[in-house]
Amino acid sequence: MMKLSRPWAATGQIILFITGLSIAIPLLLVLGTSFKPANEIYAGYPWPLNPTFENYREVFDKLPFGAYLFNSAATTALRVTGQLIIALLAAYAFARYPFRGRAFVFALVLGAMMIPHQLTFLPVYLLVNKLGWFDSWAALIVPNLAMPLAVFLLRQHLLSFPRELYDAASMDGAGELRTLWSIVLPNIKPVMAALTIVLFVDCWNEYFWPLVVTETENAMTAQIGVRRFLDAERGDDLGPLMAAVTLISLPAVAVFVLFQRQIINTFVSVGIKG
């Protein structure tokens, strides 16, 4: 068995290495091009011979890109915070209390995970418009606060939480919120951290919904700002365009690279729990 497993293991490592290169090389080319002066863009070598920050300066000169980045950062932070709070409260109720209809309600949560966003796009858009939230932070944050995936992940972890800790908290006179804050939350910090990263990457990279519900720099995100820059330059000014792409890509890439092990461990542990 060991002799058979080694070739397969080596093959898997090779596949992973090639996959990693296929992802890393385009990112490095984008990063290198963002520092190239105009006369080196099409020179044929991947890295700049005379690095310059002129492309980044041009991005901020031609568009209010600072406002776009601020909108992305602020709405992502508020949205992720809201998603975590709602998911934690819901998962705590699902894991601890055997209320009537719990299985049915949780089935609805699982069903919500399987519904494509395209099916709910139109009614949510009409509701946002009717509430007067168009082109505002509320349109970017509120419709996405309920995250079924986050509820599912936290519920799976809380199912294995020791009942003895709940009983000890009750004997000490702790209420539900104090139990959740002082007992449960400190023991699931790694899970919360991994989930925060997953939600952050998802929120930061979102393109379609901000494109639909924003119109001005009051709420427009950095991803839409890149689209506006591309339209303004018609794709001709490649250096500044790659600088803009680098600015919106680095936060998500950096977060994932730094915390990828925590993310993988969290999803693996969910898969082996009942």
Domains for the chain: give ranges and CATH numbers. 53-271 (1.10.3720.10)
Distances (CA, A) of 209 to 30, 121, 220: 25, 8, 11
Q: How confident is the model at residue 266 (pLDDT cuts 50, 70, 90)?
A: low
- For residue 234, the Cα-to-chain-centroid distance in whole angstroms is 29
Q: Which residue has the tokens 């720099």?
A: 217
- Give the model's pLDDT for residue 235: 55
Please provide the average confidence, as pLDDT, over all residues in the chain.
84
The predicted model gives 234-244 an average pLDDT of 78
- Give the model's pLDDT for residue 68: 92
Q: How confident is the model at residue 113 (pLDDT cuts 50, 70, 90)?
A: confident
Please tell me the least confidently modeled range out of 30-44, 67-81, 133-147, 254-268. 254-268
- Give the model's pLDDT for residue 1: 42
Nearest to 230 by CA among 217, 240, 218: 240
- Token pair in block for residue 201: 């990457």
- Token pair in block for residue 173: 């006179």
- Give the model's pLDDT for residue 74: 94
Amino acid at 243: A
Secondary structure (H, E, C), 30-65: HHHHHCCCHHHCCCCCCCCCCCCCHHHHHHHHHCCH
- Token pair in block for residue 188: 């699931």
With residue 113 as reference, give the H or E element that holds it: helix 102-114
Residue 227 pLDDT > 70: yes
- Tell me the Cα Rg of the chain: 23
Q: Kindly report whether the global pTM for this prediction surpasses the value 0.75.
A: yes
The predicted model gives 40-58 an average pLDDT of 84
Q: Do residues 151 and 92 touch, judged by C-beta distance below 8 A?
A: no
Q: How confident is the model at residue 203 (pLDDT cuts 50, 70, 90)?
A: very high
pLDDT, tens digit, 9 for 90 and up, residues 136-181: 999 999 999 989 989 998 998 888 888 888 778 777 777 788 888 8
Among positive and negative, which fits the CA dihedral 105, 111, 112, 113?
Answer: positive
- Give the model's pLDDT for residue 186: 84
- For residue 37, the Cα-to-chain-centroid distance in whole angstroms is 32
Residue 269 pLDDT > 90: no
